[in-house]
């Protein structure tokens, strides 16, 4: 019940295209859903996050779509650039409890010119 | 504001030895959590400390331990190292516990030979 399932494992997108990464969860206590971006040799960095009271959040080229009834959320990267090539992790945590973030297994994105 | 600082960045240890990793959180952050990252298992939660108390612990053997000091700095220790402990150990801090954004350091790369 604590798992966050992420797909696809890897993704190759043409420059200028849309990258889409999907995640699903089961624990209904989760109420905070961040996405992290990790470059090789670096720690994960927060990209964008959403709470279940909204269905979509957009920051620049990055958009999170959230479907509470389906317990699914996704990251869309519009106009993908080679500099976006990294590993992306979705995550979930529950407020009111301890700070334990459950991560998806990661998606390695490669944007080709 | 300085980010999360982890030391050392890289280290090589021999099986059976022990290792101590250090983490200085972002100023003002009281929660420090530790994660292990490996290619096969992804990001796995080790434990969280808040106000010098361990609040939550992941599914790791007792060889993995940690502590937090009054200035919120934290250390984690792994005793009797095994080859499988080779991983990137990430420290993350947040202003409070439970359902808030965590900010990662660059990590400590541990290789056990």
Residue A100 pLDDT: 80
Nearest to A75 by CA among A99, A100, A109, A41: A109
Q: Chain B residues with CB inside 8 Å of A44's CB? A: 43, 90, 104
pLDDT band with cut points at 50, 70 and 90 for residue A59: very high
**Cis peptide leading into residue B91 (ω within 30°):** no
Choice between A64 and B42, residue whose per-residue pLDDT is larger:
A64
What tens-digit pLDDT sequence spans chain B (113 residues)? Answer: 679 999 999 999 999 999 999 999 999 999 999 999 998 788 999 999 999 999 889 999 999 999 999 999 999 999 999 999 999 999 999 987 766 789 999 999 999 99
Other CB atoms closer than 10 Å to residue B61's CB: what's the count? 11
Residues of chain B numbered 17-76 and touching chain A (CB < 8 Å): 31, 33, 35, 42-43, 45, 48, 50, 55-56, 58
Residue A105 is encoded by which pair of tokens? Answer: 């297994």
Tell me which chain B residue has its CA closest to the CA of residue A87: B42
Backbone angles phi, psi at A96, to 5 degrees: 80, 0
Query: Which H or E run contains B65?
Result: strand B64-68
pLDDT at A1 over 70: no
**Contact present, A97 and A30 (Cβ < 8 Å):** no
Percent of chain A, pLDDT > 90?
81
């Amino acid at each position: 019940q604590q798992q966050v399932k992420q797909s696809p494992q890897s993704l190759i997108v043409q420059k200028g295209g849309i990258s889409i990464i999907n995640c699903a969860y089961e624990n209904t206590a989760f109420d905070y859903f961040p996405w992290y971006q990790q470059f090789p040799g670096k720690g994960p960095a927060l990209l964008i996050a959403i709470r279940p009271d909204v269905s979509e959040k957009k920051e620049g080229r990055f958009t999170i779509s959230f479907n509470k009834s389906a317990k699914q959320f996704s990251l869309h990267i519009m106009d993908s650039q080679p500099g976006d090539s990294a590993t992306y992790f979705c995550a979930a945590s529950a407020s009111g409890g301890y700070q334990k973030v459950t991560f998806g297994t990661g998606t390695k994105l490669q944007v080709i010119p | 504001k300085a980010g999360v600082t982890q030391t050392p960045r890289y280290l090589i240890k021999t099986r059976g030895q022990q290792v101590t990793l250090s983490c200085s959180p972002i100023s003002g952050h009281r929660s420090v959590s530790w994660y292990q990252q490996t290619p096969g298992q992804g990001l796995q939660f080790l434990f969280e400390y808040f106000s010098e108390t361990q609040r939550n612990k992941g599914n790791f053997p007792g060889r993995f331990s940690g502590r937090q000091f009054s200035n919120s700095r934290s250390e984690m220790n792994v005793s009797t190292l095994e080859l499988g402990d080779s991983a990137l150990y990430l420290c993350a801090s947040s202003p409070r516990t439970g359902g808030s954004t965590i900010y990662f350091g660059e990590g400590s790369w541990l290789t056990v030979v």
